[in-house]
Structure 1
Amino acid sequence: MPNSSEHPCRITIGDDGPLLVEGPVEVTCADGTVAVSDRFVVALCMCRRSRMYPWCDTSHRRRTQPGEKSRRDTG
């Protein structure tokens, strides 16, 4: 699925999350498997914790217990 020069592929890099890629996309994984999505934006897992790898399932988010402060609350 090549991108045309008129519409280059946009990739957004977040601080602590997935890569957001404008689709449709075809992803070739390290083991040679190919994952395809025709969605307009896909989230690619960068932490490898996702059960749906290479797609992000938000497993990168730190899970907190009720009453526990997150990293964002302590800054």
Structure 2
Amino acid sequence: MSVDLKALIERAETWPEAARDELASIAEQIESELQTSEYFASADELNVIDAAMASLDRGEQATDEEIRTAFARFRQ
């Protein structure tokens, strides 16, 4: 994918403030990831992890058949 980054930034300057803030946040995250080998999960990712762990704590888990089905779907 070839993107004219300079043109995109110029267009982004006309975006609403919330959209510009989101773009800046994403760019800072990318820059941070490029500068370090450590990975820091986002708040959304941490919420998903917490929900999954709570589900396991309640004894909820996939059956062997559900796991086989999931792996088969991912391999396609």
Q: Provide TM-score, normalisation by structure 1.
A: 0.26
Q: Which structure is larger by alpha-carbon Rg, 1 or 2?
A: 2
The structure richer in strand per residue is: 1
TM-score, reference length from structure 2: 0.26
**Which one scores higher on RCO, CA 8 angstroms, separation ≥ 6?**
1
Higher helix share: 2
